[in-house]
């Protein structure tokens, strides 16, 4: 079969040599036409708006005058801005950490149980990721309700006082992180489970023969084998969590007193609700550095992989 194809290929080459040039041109033309909608979509709706955001950020509020870095200078003098920076960082880092940790542990538990039961467990554990976050956050909002909180009802049954879940700044920060972890951990679980399944069983056998305990197996076999997937998922999740909007918006809308705003919700408040588009664009641009760092790491990963292959 392979021989036949090779022979045919040679025949094809010898007959088609004269028109080879036009053929190549036609092939690349077709390719370009096929990719054109993609190029247009990305160019008009992603690349252009990103650059436009940079331009918008340099205008004054009525968008008539160029103010250069004036908007940034103004932001730096505002206390709310620094609060948003701090909250975004705390929110993203702690949420991603716990998502990865819980995802890693749960993936191990699922991996431990007999194979025929795994599907059922996996199916139940991925549900938070499937529900649209705006919808599931409504359920959390109701669970955290100031006067009818179902959690507080349990706490009261146990004789512990009510917790002001969304009323107190610290509890509110905890709540948005909790909901984010609840939503994102299943995704990590699925990723790590797939990675765990791809670790060759022989490595564990070899480790067992060498007398490794479970901790050593984890540290010297599992983690090195999963290093890539952990790095990628954490980077991805950092981007997504840093730019989170739905959960914070529905759960606290930035309150109490702007204490739980992250970049996206604050940018929305300034840009769309207060109609100060340049300032909103300015705030949303602060999501860019983390993006650039992640992009560099991921590109390096792709190149390395390309060289190996």
> Maximum distance among all alpha carbons in the chain?
89
Distance CA 309, CA 306 (A): 5
Alpha-helical (H) ranges within the chain are 2-16, 20-42, 48-56, 70-76, 79-112, 115-125, 127-130, 133-143, 150-157, 169-197, 201-209, 214-217, 223-242, 246-251, 263-268, 277-285, 288-308
Residue from the set 42, 73, 89, 101 that interacts with other proteins by CB under 8 A: 42
Q: Does 106 engage in binding with other proteins (CB under 8 A)?
A: yes
SS (H, E, C) 64-110: CCECCCHHHHHHHCCHHHHHHHHHHHHHHHHHHHHHHHHHHHHHHHH
Residue from the set 34, 79, 158, 215 that interacts with other proteins by CB under 8 A: 34
DSSP string, 201-220: HHHHHHHHHTT--HHHHIII
Stretch that binds other proteins, among 68-76, 87-95, 169-177, 292-300 (CB under 8 A): 292-300
Residue from the set 20, 49, 160, 227 that interacts with other proteins by CB under 8 A: 49
User: Could you tell me the smallest distance in angstroms from the CB atom of residue 250 to other proteins?
Assistant: 6
Quick one: which of 67, 47, 49 has its CA closest to 57?
67
Q: Does 78 engage in binding with other proteins (CB under 8 A)?
A: no
Quick one: which of 253, 233, 232, 242 has its CA closest to 283?
242
User: Could you tell me the smallest distance in angstroms from the CB atom of residue 287 to other proteins?
Assistant: 5
Q: Does 92 engage in binding with other proteins (CB under 8 A)?
A: no
259-278: contacts with other proteins (CB under 8 A): 263-264, 267-268, 271-272, 277
Residue from the set 17, 197, 300, 304 that interacts with other proteins by CB under 8 A: 197
Residue from the set 67, 143, 155, 225 that interacts with other proteins by CB under 8 A: 143
Residue from the set 85, 163, 225, 232 that interacts with other proteins by CB under 8 A: 232
User: Could you tell me the smallest distance in angstroms from the CB atom of residue 7 to other proteins?
Assistant: 10
Q: Does 150 engage in binding with other proteins (CB under 8 A)?
A: yes
Distance CA 10, CA 4 (A): 10
Q: Does 74 engage in binding with other proteins (CB under 8 A)?
A: no
Q: Does 127 engage in binding with other proteins (CB under 8 A)?
A: yes
User: Could you tell me the smallest distance in angstroms from the CB atom of residue 205 to other proteins?
Assistant: 6
Q: Does 281 engage in binding with other proteins (CB under 8 A)?
A: yes
Q: At what angle do helices 115-125 and 169-197 cross, to 10 degrees?
A: 150
Q: Does 297 engage in binding with other proteins (CB under 8 A)?
A: no
* Residue 291, CA distances (Å) to 27, 93, 183, 267, 295 in order: 35, 14, 21, 17, 6
User: Could you tell me the smallest distance in angstroms from the CB atom of residue 246 to other proteins?
Assistant: 5
Residue from the set 67, 163, 243, 256 that interacts with other proteins by CB under 8 A: 243
């Amino acid at each position: 079969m392979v021989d036949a194809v090779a022979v045919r290929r040679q025949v094809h080459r010898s007959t088609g040599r004269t028109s080879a040039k036009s053929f190549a041109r036609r092939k690349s033309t077709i390719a370009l036409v096929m990719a054109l909608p993609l190029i247009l979509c990305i160019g008009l709706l992603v690349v252009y708006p990103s650059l436009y955001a940079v331009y918008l950020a340099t205008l004054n509020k009525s968008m008539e005058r160029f103010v250069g870095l004036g908007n940034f200078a103004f932001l730096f003098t505002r206390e709310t801005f620094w609060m948003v920076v701090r909250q975004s960082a705390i929110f993203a880092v702690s949420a991603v950490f716990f998502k990865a940790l819980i995802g890693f542990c749960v993936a191990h538990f699922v991996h431990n149980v007999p194979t025929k039961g795994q599907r059922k467990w996996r199916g139940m554990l991925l549900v938070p990721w499937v529900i649209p976050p705006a919808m599931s956050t409504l359920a959390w909002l109701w669970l955290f309700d100031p006067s009818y909180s179902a959690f507080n009802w349990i706490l009261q049954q146990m004789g512990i006082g009510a917790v002001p879940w969304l009323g107190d700044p610290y509890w509110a920060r905890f709540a948005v992180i909790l909901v984010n972890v609840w939503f994102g951990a299943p995704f990590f679980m699925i990723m790590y489970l797939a990675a765990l399944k791809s670790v060759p069983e022989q490595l564990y056998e070899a480790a067992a023969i060498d007398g490794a305990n479970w901790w050593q197996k984890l540290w010297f076999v599992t983690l090195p084998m999963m290093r890539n997937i952990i790095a990628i998922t954490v980077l991805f999740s950092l981007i997504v969590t840093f730019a989170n909007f739905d959960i914070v918006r529905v759960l606290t809308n930035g309150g109490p007193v702007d204490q739980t705003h992250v970049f996206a919700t604050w940018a929305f408040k300034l840009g769309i609700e207060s109609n100060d588009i340049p300032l909103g664009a300015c705030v949303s641009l602060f999501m860019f550095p983390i993006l650039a760092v992640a992009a560099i790491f991921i590109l390096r990963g792709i190149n390395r992989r390309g060289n190996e292959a």
